[in-house]
Chains A and B, each alone.
Chain A
Amino acid sequence: MSPPVKLIGAFGSPAVHRAEAALRLKGVPYELILEDLENKSELLLKSNPIHKKVPVLLHGDRTVCESLVILEYIDETFDGPPLLPADPYDRSMARFWAHFIDHKCAKPFMLSMWSEGETQKESMKESKENLAFLEEQLIKRKKRFFGGDSIGYLDIAACGMAYWLGVIQESAGVSLASGEEFPALRRWAEEYTSDEAIKPCLPDRDKLLTHYVANIDKYRLMVKAPPA
């Protein structure tokens, strides 16, 4: 029998959601350990001494950090529907777009929400271009999900677009796109967030909105800071 799985997470984190989504899609039972990120536990600091971030997957005596690395570990270790495609090229494409989301989309999105003036204007333009790339990818595939007929690695990686994007825009009072723009992404977001396996591990919307509203000054300060 496989050793027990624990997941160190925190409320509202899309990265943590990625790990939960993958475990649920594979039907793997797990214990969720919730952190207070303002007051990190001994367990978290010991399990992820280098980055000190969530999620961290604990599988028996194994520790896996970084959400996308965790996704691939879950896919390769547990039975159940595959998250990544079988073909090496399709796999590299899925990874490429997941990296695009993390490295190209994240910063301009945050600046769109929490900066001002010229910076905000340029960031919004860049964010919309990024969304257009993803919209194009979805349309190209002609399927319900990035992963095809069922949810896959890239859908999970893109969870921020499906759920967090709307909440954060509402909390900041900034709208990136109008109702008509990016119809494929809108349809996909609804499909993703209403999936039976995904729904239970999405944070409560009202609670999430309250969280982002309450912390908005902190985020505005954060985007002003020089790059790490």
Chain B
Amino acid sequence: MSPVKLITAFGSPFAHRAEVALALKGVPFELITEDLYNKSELLLRHNPIHKTVPVLLHDDRTVSESLLIVEYVDEAFDGPRILPADPYDRAMARFWAHFVENKVSKPFWMSFWTEGEVREGFVKEAREMLAVLEAQLDGKRFFGGESLGLVDIAAIGLMGSDDEFPALRRWVKEYTSHEAVKKCTPDAQKLIAYFVENEEKYQQIAKATL
């Protein structure tokens, strides 16, 4: 089979998930970096429905949606397990990954790009959801136990959420110092500069979803 390519975008936590999964399995891959404000024909052709990154290209196979890519990588390649072996533990991993995706991420991100009372609302909501996650960690090194798993990969976008939550703070340290993650983490200064540069765009996107 020919090498794996990953369509990605700088600073995207979703694309980061796919990169970490590939790095964990030791699968060599080529990064194709998109400008999300000027999407390429390649991206639009391979992900016509959602038009988002990441997209994994593997021979004539195309996989989109970050968490689905992580599961595909886990099932298609040898290497350390990303999802556990036991069906019930797998169900729990999927449940909590969805929780992060659907219940935590939105208020978390929206709290950055809104203002005033609206922002206060999102901050409160994010805190409640993060408290649930904090309880889930329950003294474990990772959400996956001793090793990185699906929920850890799903939660990577939540960096910097650690003020009130000691378990999450410790988890952020463990996560960011993991070998596979270090390879895929964008330069912090570059990332901050990128978000500052695009602040207005994000604020507009946030307003539009309210």
Residues of A within 8 A of B (CB): 50, 59, 62, 64-66, 69-70, 72-73, 76-77, 88-89, 91-92, 95-96, 99-100, 104, 133, 226-227
Contact = CB atoms under 8 A, between A and B. Distances in A.
Contact of A88 (B75, B88, B90, B209): B75
B87 interface: yes
Interface stretch (B30-38, B64-72, B188-196): B64-72
Interface string B160-203: 00000000000000000000000000000000000000000000
A77 B85 CA distance: 11
A65 B65 CA distance: 21
Interface in B33-80: 49, 58, 61, 63-65, 68-69, 71-72, 75-76
B98 A66 contact: yes
Which secondary structure characterizes the binding site on chain B?
helix
B87 A73 contact: yes
B94 interface: yes
Nearest to A91: B75
A227 B210 CA distance: 7
A73 B49 contact: no
Contacts of B159: none
Given A89-B72, A96-B64, A69 B91 contact: yes
Contacts of A65: 95
Contacts of B71: 91-92, 95
Contact of A95 (B49, B68, B91, B209): B68
B99 interface: yes
Closest 9 CB pairs of A and B: A88-B75, A76-B87, A92-B72, A88-B76, A73-B91, A77-B87, A69-B94, A64-B91, A89-B61
Nearest to B73: A88
Given A50-B99, A88-B75, A89-B63, A96 B91 contact: no
A64 B132 CA distance: 17
B99 A96 contact: no
A72 to B, nearest CB: 7
A119 to B, nearest CB: 16
A72 B75 contact: no
A72 B95 contact: no
B68 A99 contact: yes
Contacts of B90: 72-73, 76
Interface string B112-141: 000000000000000000001000000000
Contact of B88 (A73, A89, A99): A73
Nearest to A62: B88
B65 A96 contact: yes
Contact of B91 (A50, A72, A100): A72
